[in-house]
Amino acid sequence: MKCPDCGVELSQGKRDGVEMEICSSCKGMWLTRQEMSQLEDEVFDFGDDEKGSLMLGSTPTTRKCPQCAKPLRRFEYRFYDLQIDYCEDLHGYWLEANEDKRVLELMKKEEKNLGRKVLAEDRFAAHLHYLQSGSLADRVRDLLSKAIDPKPKPR
């Protein structure tokens, strides 16, 4: 598979404790969809974030899916304004270089402020695993099949 930005062949790597395809040139990250066997509950506790709507709609991009070459769409994952591009056929998700670092920084601040017992690194890894899991993929599919302007679910 090739990088949607620079066309360089992606190589298998591990970042933030998660297996992914990484571009050696721009350091972008491609997360392929995976079925997760299990996740540890204490790390995977998103509280209200998880229960509410995770996405704030999506917009088209000029990037193409490394797997099927369809244009990727971008959505905002309602967690630290993380912007992620994804393939409509759910082949995977594209994260720009340093997007993970930015989010980790935010999480670390929060960790300090709230004295959270779960480490930012673990939480971020859990989010990435969640992205790769079938359950978010289903939500993405849901979002696509529904309205153009998805409303946040009532609490």
In the complex, the residues that contact Zn ion under the rule CB under 5 A are 3, 5-6, 23, 25-26, 28, 65, 67-68, 87, 89, 91
CB-nearer residue toward Zn ion: 86 or 124 = 86
Q: What would the DSSP string read from start to end of 36-65?
A: -S---TTTT--THHHHS--EEEEEEEEEE-
Residue 139's contacts (CB-CB under 8 Å, 6 or more residues apart) are 54, 55
C-beta closer to Zn ion: residue 71 or 150: 71
Q: State the minimum distance, in angstroms, from the CB of residue 80 to Zn ion.
A: 23
- 82 bridge partner residues: 77
Comparing CB distances to Zn ion, the nearer of 67 and 133 is: 67
Residue 13 Cβ vs Zn ion, minimum distance, rounded to whole Å: 13
